[in-house]
Structure 1
């Protein structure tokens, strides 16, 4: 191994790894494991490139504060670069992104300014611009900065071509956020071989590219919905992404479900030994779709943007317990030495509730959930009818959002109580036909008197949201309502509802 004068010299040259257990047997799927960068993500490349380009141009003065809006990985990369080069750093970030990212940033010396989750990516960007203009900070502008794309043309794309050693690439698969990786790599791969397909993955419930709808000036994209893939698809199509599209670099857009992203991130760890985050699982989901229809012997290359370590407070780690479960305790007790015993074995965690419009047995909740062939948008009366239809299908119904941490918290309580329920996820693709998920929101607000999600009904009557559900469990009224409807549940369960809430709400993390 060579000796390096700076940690910054170790950025790039990440491995291209062939998968063995998750892929079709006759197609070669290779993953570009960007977690090997020093701060664990592909954004290390861009962070260094943007700072050095600003230094060369004089846009960044010695000692000047750097600022950027980021979901985390860009900020973490910038924190490393700024720490080494001696620039103060401020990061603006929506409060809904994982705690690990905030802590890493602050550990590296950055200041983190949180913005309301409801303001989405546009909100944290607007805050960064406002702070930069007010205080004279250097704003990186990652979503439009050509240095972002240039570094991927110069490094990432060249590494892929060098590693493939002349073998033809059938398809290169990536997500998009800033668009730097997409634009920078695709133009080099296309120049080397115009037959290489560039495939872009995006959340199936937020089809910004797949919809074909233009990005409104200064507004959120009309097809944006919050989703599980942190770092992917903000609520706008970035300038770099638009440039790649305009240049004809994108051959296909593949929608990916959040549940598939979680599943494949976990399977990559358990079956291939590769530890990555949710966006990497989502990109692999798209790559596997491409691989299944690729000619035998083809090479498909998939970007894995970051490590899984910064997702431990998210749904990716749902069901991963700190304590030994029943199976592990039984294994511990199977030999006499070095035993660790507790009064009672911890029960094995149950899987989360069945997603989008399915009941606990996995049956589709309603045939009406399928998109209608009628192009006429449904009226409020139809939304009322749809709501009533859902309420007749199960004694316990929760109107939820797949991405929402409060909905996850409510699911956890029902899961621990053993309560079967119908989860209707308003941001899922099935509810997007004629904007039904959007049209149900005001109907729910009128029925419940609250505009928030989740909204839970028991026996057709509204209970409230996550907070009301937890309070009802604590004061015993939830049990009374379940009993009145003949709904089985574990009345002896001892549950600390505070521990079911998102980690960033816990008092101990208030200064995180």
Structure 2
């Protein structure tokens, strides 16, 4: 597992053809924060969101998997399991999807929901651990699962290849980028510690005058405390660090000092440790977005806060590089977006009112009620045959692109109901004449209701989405399904209307 990292990561430039998405990992840009740099100084940003899954951890994921493939510790088709706050897991999901390894990610329940969804979207399984057990809880669970099932555990917090991949790729990219204008300092936060350890080693070798500065939350000074971490024989944490406190920097500063970080400190790679306040992290993340156009997360704001403060204390002409590890999309359900409104605020409403069209505060003219056209006999027969199909007691007439259809379907799926779905905008109904005739026939069989979706249970018309939701909310739906012999379960939903998109719930 700790074999030398197999190869430097590099990707084709410009519009060259790629043989795999994995060739897009690395070679990320460096951008000057021109507006937010202190006067007379330069703060540069290493934008790791340019990696395929939007974070610096894509490098780590690819490096650990390819090192394990080379030394034989990872077998073809073997399941990979890892504990992560999100970004390493997302990087592993990318690599495992491309290489064909099943993946199980263990994550504390306190991390943002969008991380879980991205992982599952990429095909990974996500096992949550109680937030009260903190980072050590998820690490212990991942190790337990690996031992029980014979899965491969990359051990990102201990694995020496973690720092080696960053030394060979991230660090050397920085050395090349600043070959003609050496850095005075490099600033990074600490998750596993691999980024700062690897970059620090590269800079110590090629740019020794650069200071290597690590950041940690000011309310959780695990490193600055000087209190040693307890380790198990395998290098994993034996217990939570006594100075750990919960903080808003997801991905930074777990409740233990990773072995990778400890090695960097012992080897003198890190020159300085600076505290960053949570409020400053949030504020600078937002300023980077609104003044530099850099869409980043909380840890990026925290790193920039430390880098900017350091730059302001250095002589004029100084040059500092801040690691910007990921994108802001990982933080939608965190305090970073807590004051970002979904609905229009007063200023936006005033803009809307400045012209007469498409306004929510204007009452639209009532549309004349359209008479349901007499259905074609062939279309009626077609609809009747679908409704009367003895092999399927529940028929769901829907549109593929319809929020009401999606929400009604979600309720049926949560109840684990077997049903037939007929998409009236699908290829079978692409001919306008035939599709129109079938829609008219359905409206006629639905009591003159032209809207979609329409649901039939045991040949009886139940109604549309609101009828389905009302029947669920008042308890009638289970009885309707039982009378029709339709097996179903009770989902963990109290109000079916909560399944609608938020903008529809308010109408």
Distance (whole Å) between structure 2 residues aligned to residue 188 and residue 163 of structure 1: 13
Distance (whole Å) between structure 2 residues aligned to residue 143 and residue 68 of structure 1: 10
1:127 correspondence with 2:147: no
> What are the equivalent positions in structure 2 for 1:406-445 lying under 5 Å apart?
none
1:263 correspondence with 2:283: yes
Secondary structure of the equivalent of 1:195?
Answer: coil
1:166 correspondence with 2:186: no
**2:329 match:** 309
**1:24 match:** 38
Secondary structure of the equivalent of 1:264?
Answer: helix
Write out per-residue CA displacement over residues 232-258 of structure 1, whole angstroms, 9 at most, x where no aligned residue: 000111111011101111111110011
**2:59 match:** 45
**2:293 match:** 273
Residues 1:507 and 1:216: Cα distance change in structure 2 (over 3 Å):
farther
Match among 16, 25, 36 for residue 11 of structure 1: 25
Alpha-carbon contact 2:280-2:301 (below 8 Å) kept: yes
Distance (whole Å) between structure 2 residues aligned to residue 84 and residue 2 of structure 1: 20
Alpha-carbon contact 2:43-2:322 (below 8 Å) kept: yes
> What are the equivalent positions in structure 2 for 1:375-390 lying under 5 Å apart?
none
Write out per-residue CA displacement over residues 445-471 of structure 1, whole angstroms, 9 at most, x where no aligned residue: xxxxxxxxxxxxxxxxxxxxxxxxxxx
Match among 220, 223, 226 for residue 240 of structure 2: 220
Secondary structure of the equivalent of 1:139?
Answer: coil
Secondary structure of the equivalent of 2:323?
Answer: strand
Write out per-residue CA displacement over residues 366-413 of structure 1, whole angstroms, 9 at most, x where no aligned residue: xxxxxxxxxxxxxxxxxxxxxxxxxxxxxxxxxxxxxxxxxxxxxxxx
> What are the equivalent positions in structure 2 for 1:243-254 lying under 5 Å apart?
243-254=263-274
Give how far 1:508 is off: 6.1
Residues 1:274 and 1:135: Cα distance change in structure 2 (over 3 Å):
same
> Which runs of 5 or more residues in structure 2 are unaligned?
1-14, 232-237, 364-496, 501-507
Distance (whole Å) between structure 2 residues aligned to residue 20 and residue 193 of structure 1: 23
Distance (whole Å) between structure 2 residues aligned to residue 338 and residue 238 of structure 1: 55
Secondary structure of the equivalent of 1:167?
Answer: coil
**1:366 match:** none
**1:70 match:** 84
Distance (whole Å) between structure 2 residues aligned to residue 95 and residue 139 of structure 1: 20
**1:232 match:** 252
Distance (whole Å) between structure 2 residues aligned to residue 292 and residue 273 of structure 1: 22
**1:187 match:** 201
Distance (whole Å) between structure 1 residues aligned to residue 243 and residue 151 of structure 2: 33
Give how far 1:211 is off: 1.1
Give how far 1:193 is off: 2.3
Distance (whole Å) between structure 2 residues aligned to residue 133 and residue 507 of structure 1: 41
Match among 205, 210, 218 for residue 196 of structure 1: 210
1:292 correspondence with 2:338: no
**2:48 match:** 34
Match among 59, 77, 85 for residue 73 of structure 2: 59
Alpha-carbon contact 2:175-2:207 (below 8 Å) kept: no
Q: After TM superposition, what 4+ stretches of structure 1 lie above 3 angstroms from structure 2?
A: 506-509
**1:474 match:** none
Alpha-carbon contact 2:197-2:270 (below 8 Å) kept: no
Residues 1:136 and 1:15: Cα distance change in structure 2 (over 3 Å):
same
Give how far 1:212 is off: 1.3
Distance (whole Å) between structure 2 residues aligned to residue 265 and residue 336 of structure 1: 37
Distance (whole Å) between structure 2 residues aligned to residue 83 and residue 241 of structure 1: 29
Distance (whole Å) between structure 2 residues aligned to residue 508 and residue 136 of structure 1: 39
1:330 correspondence with 2:350: yes
Give how far 1:22 is off: 1.4
Distance (whole Å) between structure 1 residues aligned to residue 306 and residue 138 of structure 2: 28
Distance (whole Å) between structure 2 residues aligned to residue 129 and residue 342 of structure 1: 60
Distance (whole Å) between structure 2 residues aligned to residue 261 and residue 186 of structure 1: 23
Give how far 1:209 is off: 1.0
**1:477 match:** none
Aligned-residue Cα RMSD (Å) equals 1.5
Distance (whole Å) between structure 2 residues aligned to residue 62 and residue 116 of structure 1: 32
Residues 1:103 and 1:195: Cα distance change in structure 2 (over 3 Å):
same
Residues 1:508 and 1:214: Cα distance change in structure 2 (over 3 Å):
farther
Match among 73, 85, 98 for residue 99 of structure 2: 85
Give how far 1:25 is off: 1.7
Secondary structure of the equivalent of 1:59?
Answer: coil
Give how far 1:13 is off: 0.7
**1:157 match:** 171
Distance (whole Å) between structure 1 residues aligned to residue 114 and residue 499 of structure 2: 14
> Which runs of 5 or more residues in structure 1 are unaligned?
344-505
Distance (whole Å) between structure 2 residues aligned to residue 23 and residue 298 of structure 1: 11
Give how far 1:342 is off: 6.7
Write out per-residue CA displacement over residues 419-463 of structure 1, whole angstroms, 9 at most, x where no aligned residue: xxxxxxxxxxxxxxxxxxxxxxxxxxxxxxxxxxxxxxxxxxxxx
Distance (whole Å) between structure 1 residues aligned to residue 277 and residue 197 of structure 2: 24
Q: In the comparison of the two structures, how many residue pairs are matched?
A: 347
Distance (whole Å) between structure 1 residues aligned to residue 98 and residue 202 of structure 2: 30
Write out per-residue CA displacement over residues 104-161 of structure 1, whole angstroms, 9 at most, x where no aligned residue: 0000000000000000000000000000000000001001111111111111111111
Give how far 1:339 is off: 2.8
Secondary structure of the equivalent of 2:40?
Answer: coil
